[in-house]
Amino acid sequence: MGRVGLREHDLEERFVRSSGPGGQRVNKVSTCVILRHRPSGIEVRCQQERSQALNRFLARRLLLARLEAQRRERLHVEAQRLARIRQERRRRSERVKAKLLREKRLTAEKKSLRREVKWHAWE
- Does residue 92 fall inside a structural domain? yes
How far is it, in rounded angstroms, from Cα 14 to Cα 11? 10
Count CA atoms within 13 Å of residue 92 on its CB side: 6
CATH number of residue 22's parent domain = 3.30.160.20
Q: Tell me what the mean pLDDT of segment 97-102 comes to.
A: 92
Q: Domain for residue 2, yes or no?
A: no
Mean pLDDT value across residues 98-121: 87
Is residue 121 pLDDT above 70, yes or no?
no
Domain that includes residue 85, residue range: 9-107
Domain presence at residue 113? no
Encoded amino acid at 65, one letter:
A
Burial of 36 (0-12, 13-18, 19+ CB in 10 A): middle
pLDDT digits (tens, 9 = 90+) for 37-90: 998 899 999 988 888 899 999 999 999 999 999 999 999 999 999 999 888 877
The maximal CA–CA distance of the chain, rounded, in angstroms, is 117
Residue 59 lies in a domain: yes
Q: Is residue 114 in some structural domain?
A: no
Query: Does any domain span residue 122?
Result: no
